[in-house]
Homo-oligomer: A and B are copies of this chain.
Amino acid sequence: MDKKVKVGIVGASGYSGEELVRLLLSHPHVELAAVTSRQYAGQSLAQVFPKFGHHPQARNIRFTEPNVSLLAKNAQVIFLALPHGVSAEFAVPLLQQGCQIIDLSADFRLKSAAVYKEFYAHDHPAPDLLATSVYGLPEVYRSAIKNALLVASPGCYPTSILLPTLPLLRAGLIKPAGIIADSLSGVSGAGRKVEQDYLFVECNESVRPYSVPKHRHLSEIEQELSLAAGAPVIIQFTPHLIPVNRGILSTLYFTPAIHFANATEAAALNDKITACYQAAYANEPFVRLLDAKTLPDTKNVIGTNVIEIAWRLDTRTGRLIVMSAEDNIVKGASGQAVQSMNIMCGFPETAGLI
């Protein structure tokens, strides 16, 4: 026990926070040393989340009020599972006191305070930190995460879109213009927000688009695509709410950079795409490249840190269709944050995640 790294969670009462609790309680190399929640201060994890009640530690660990000094004293690595704008209030002093921070909010994902303001409608609370924070997509920024003090863990939609797109864009296999991402998310994506729109009766037997055409996650998606393309990329993104608890399915429409006029040329291009994905992800423990007979299904990734990816060239339209499936709360949030922690702390990257 003495060699375990002490970790804390600020804002542990939402869905991402709860999932962090689940993952960290079972993690072989960490000790969950602090969980905070204004709402639940004083209560044990087992009281607030009965489902963890059979875990011995869940009966001993109690929620506390969020207190920076106490957190810094008790934990080396701090996860912030807070609303955007609020995260920065904790990140700044905790960094000063020597903690390593993994932030699940949007506060440190963008490199530009101006873009932040455009999409989040208020001034960035700590613009100086934007230069040093690392975007926590391990498959892309593994080495930077290794030495990071502040990791900005990606959003759920961005993860489902960036992982399938970045290798193709970097390899020049698709055109950066005209990309469309059509995404379907389970209701936990809205957080534990007590609003009429997310009541059972309002979501069950309902499917609906929302935030059309300018969802906030576009800011980080386009930032990362632009970095990969070496030029500004603007995409079309349409999120939809579907009646499942967990899961994001993204269907992506690309124009291949290489024209193909017949089945032979299509097969050749398909080989290039396959090779590109294999080069990028064959050794990634959490990316599952599907074969030509299989399409993604969120039920195959629920509860895991895996993202599934499949692709099809359409010889009729000349387009490339790529589809991905992930658990929005795991690979799209808390699992990916733990993956970053594993890298930062020198643990095996899959520790506590498989």
Question: Could you tell me if A321 and B213 are in contact, using CB atoms closer than 8 angstroms?
Answer: yes
Complex Cα spacing A203 to B242, Å: 13
Main secondary structure of the interface of A (DSSP, over half): loop
**With an 8 A cutoff between CB atoms, is A97 at the interface?**
no
Q: Is the Cβ of A242 less than 8 Å from the Cβ of B314?
A: no
Q: Given A54-B306, A308-B50 in contact, is the A251-B182 Cβ separation under 8 Å?
A: yes
When the two chains form their complex, are residues A242 and B242 in contact, meaning their CB atoms are under 8 A apart?
yes
Within the assembled complex, what's the spacing in Å between the Cα atoms of A195 and B195? Answer: 8
Contacts A205-B245, A244-B207; is A51 near B304 (CB within 8 Å)? yes
| A291 closest partner in B (C-beta) | B47
- Let me know if A303 is at the binding interface, CB within 8 A: yes
Shortest Cβ distance from A179 into B: residue: B317
A220 to chain B, nearest CB (A): 15
Q: Is the CB of A244 within 8 A of B205?
A: yes
* Chain B residues whose CB sits within 8 angstroms of the CB of A302 once the complex forms: 205
- CB within 8 A of A240: which of B184, B201, B316? B184
**Digit string of A235-248 for contact with B (CB within 8 Å is 1, else 0)?**
11010101111110
A54 touches which of B244, B285, B297 (Cβ 8 Å)? B285
Set of chain B residues within 8 Å of A40, measured between Cβ atoms: none
Q: Does any Cβ of B come within 8 Å of A38's Cβ?
A: no
B236 touches A321 (CB 8 A): yes
Does the CB pair A249–B208 fall under 8 Å?
yes
> Is there an interface contact between A253 and B288, defined as CB atoms closer than 8 Å?
no
B contact residues around A243 at 8 Å (CB)? 200, 204, 242-244
Docked Cα-Cα span, A215 to B245, in Å, equals 28
Number of copies: 4
A300 to B45, CA, bound (A): 13
B323 x A51 contact (CB < 8 A)? no
Are A205 and B205 in contact (CB-based, < 8 A)? yes
Cβ of A234: which chain B residues have Cβ within 8 Å of it? 316-317
Q: Contact check: which of B50, B245, B249, B288 meets A50 at CB < 8 Å? A: B288
**Taking the complex as formed, is A198 at the interface, i.e. its CB lies under 8 A from any CB of chain B?**
yes
CB distance from A19 to the nearest CB of B (A): 12
Q: Say whether A55 faces chain B, with CB atoms less than 8 Å apart.
A: yes
Give the contacting residue for A53; candidates B288, B299, B312; CB below 8 A.
Answer: B288
Q: Is the CB of B214 within 8 A of A188?
A: no
Are A314 and B207 interface neighbours, CB within 8 A?
Answer: no
Residues of B within 8 A of A50 (CB): 288, 290, 294, 297, 300, 308
C-beta contact mask, A248-273 vs B, less than 8 Å → 1, else 0? 01010100000000000000000000
Known contacts A199-B199, A200-B245, A204-B245, then 18 further A-B pairs from the complex at CB < 8 Å, ordered by chain A residue: A53-B288, A53-B306, A54-B306, A192-B196, A198-B200, A199-B200, A200-B204, A204-B244, A205-B205, A207-B325, A208-B325, A209-B249, A210-B295, A234-B316, A236-B314, A238-B251, A242-B242, A243-B243
